[in-house]
Structure formats: structure tokens, C-alpha cells
Amino acid sequence: MNGEWLEPLIATLGLAVITVVTRAFFMIPERELPMPDWLRRGLKYAPLAALTAVIAPELFMTQGALMHTLQDARLPALAAACGYYFWRRGILGTIVVGMAVYLPLRIGLGW
């Protein structure tokens, strides 16, 4: 054995420790950490900003470049899903409506 297993093991353990520490960072102290009000207000928007950063490129980009055509199944699916969400405020229904529009356009029409 020449130690090929050592580097992946160290990397895996290191990533596990980093994950546990960063996720438990706010639970480790005995008392609440002092934070300025502006930071506390800003942290309320962090999940929405992270979700937008992940989803927006997937919706508006193809292979690293902006879409060059409006004939893309993602756009009508996005419009239908947004419309449903603003009408009913249900997450599951939003996903179902978006996919019900996306799949026929993508598979059936080849958009």
C-alpha cells in the first residue's frame, strides 16, 4: 500500500469538520452573539439571495451565456409557476404547474 487512500481520507475529514463548525457556529456559544441591527436585518434576506444566485443562472443562461432566443421552455414555465405562486401561494403547486408547462414544451416541441 502506498497511501493512496490517505489524501481522500484527510480531505473528507477536513470537509466534515468545516461543515460541522460552520453550520453549528451560531449554536456553540452559551449566549447570543452581539450583532448590529443592520446585520441582523440583512441576514433575513440571505436565504432568498442564495436561492436567487443558484436559480437565476439556470433560468436565463445556456452553456455559460445568456439565452439568445425567447423560444426556450424555461421562460413560459417560469411565467406559469410565478403566476400560480402569486395566485395560490403554494410551493408544491408552483413546482407542479411549472413542470406541467415545461415538460410538454421541452419534450413535445423540442424547445
**Which tens digits make up the pLDDT trace of 52-92?**
899 899 888 988 888 888 889 999 999 999 999 999 999 99
Average of per-residue pLDDT values in the chain = 90
Cβ–Cβ under 8 Å, residues 80 and 101: yes
Residue 103 banded pLDDT, cuts 50, 70, 90? very high
Residue 1 banded pLDDT, cuts 50, 70, 90? low
pLDDT the model gives residue 7: 92
What percent of the chain has a predicted confidence (pLDDT) above 90?
Answer: 52
Q: Is 66 helix (H, G, I), strand (E, B) or coil?
A: strand
CA distance 2 to 20: 30
CA distance 90 to 92: 6
